[in-house]
Chain A
């Protein structure tokens, strides 16, 4: 199967600091990865599409200067929450599509990272 990992699984940080979250595809390569956030009892909201070797594509309303995305290799994407505030506290999940033949993408999700900003 296809496995996606995230690190850390949870993090607590102080307001004003920056936090980096890693998303790795362990047994397949992903030129594209997706970052989502999820508030309690709500569904996942796509934040941005991470593209290997090029700039990320952000969804409307997502601040690109606040949520920095770097897709450094075919197996690693990072999301950095800069100058975090309590309202950034959320569950962040990444996914990577496995292309078994266009358009047959199946999304594999990481276990998520719970961020709490105090």
Chain B
């Protein structure tokens, strides 16, 4: 059974810092991995999708990498802003879609 973990559980940083969020999964037989952001009381917004054959994807200040063999993905956020404050979830798609518990990020002005 696929298990997804995320480290850290919570993170608070001053504005402008570069951040790394980590996601680990136990079963490397996946089709893709997706990073989402969720604002309090809201639905999910897809940030990046990495296919199993890819190593990384970039969108603006966000960069996500995937090392399928070791079961790890990282989300790198450059020059963080207060508007980046949210919960970040990773999810892997294999036999089904499994979410990690999320990292709650607070970027302080």
- Which label, helix, strand, loop or mixed, suits the secondary structure of the B interface? strand
Judged by a CB distance under 8 angstroms, whether B101 is at the interface is: yes
Q: A43-B99, A44-B89, A46-B97 are in contact. Are A105 and B44 (CB under 8 A)?
A: no
The answer on a CB contact under 8 Å between A104 and B44 is: no
| Interface 9-mer from A64-72, A74-82, A110-118 | A110-118
Is there contact, CB below 8 Å, between A93 and B43? yes
**Contact for A105 among B32, B99, B102, CB less than 8 A:** B32
Bound form: Cα–Cα A34–B102 in Å:
19
Q: Please count how many residues in chain A sit with their CB below 8 Å of the partner chain's CB atoms.
A: 22
B42 lies within 8 A of A111 (CB): yes
Within the assembled complex, what's the spacing in Å between the Cα atoms of A44 and B102? Answer: 9
B96/A46 in contact, CB under 8 A: yes
**A107-B97 CB under 8 A given contacts A43-B102, A44-B89:** yes
Asked if B41 and A104 sit within 8 Å, CB to CB, the answer is: no
Instruction: With both chains docked as a complex, state the minimum distance between the C-beta of A85 and any C-beta of chain B, in angstroms.
Output: 22
What is the interface of chain A mostly: helix, strand, loop, or mixed?
strand
> In chain A, what residue has the closest Cβ to B6?
A43
Residues in B neighbouring A103, C-beta threshold 8 A: 31-32, 52, 93
- Does A44 contact B34, Cβ atoms closer than 8 Å? no
User: How far is the CB of A103 from the nearest CB of chain B, in Å?
Assistant: 4
| A 1-60 contacts with B by CB, 8 A | 6, 34, 42-46, 49
B51 close to A (CB within 8 Å): yes
Tell yes or no: A63 within 8 A of B by CB.
no
Q: Given A43-B100, A43-B101, A106-B49, does the pair A111, B89 have CB atoms closer than 8 Å?
A: no
A111's closest neighbor in chain B, by CB? B43
- Chain A residues with CB below 8 A from B77, complex form: none
Instruction: Give the distance in Å from the alpha carbon of A43 to the alpha carbon of B104 in the complex.
Output: 11
What are 15 A-B contacts defined by CB distance under 8 Å? A6-B43, A43-B89, A43-B100, A44-B44, A44-B99, A45-B99, A104-B32, A104-B51, A105-B31, A106-B32, A107-B91, A107-B97, A109-B46, A111-B43, A114-B41
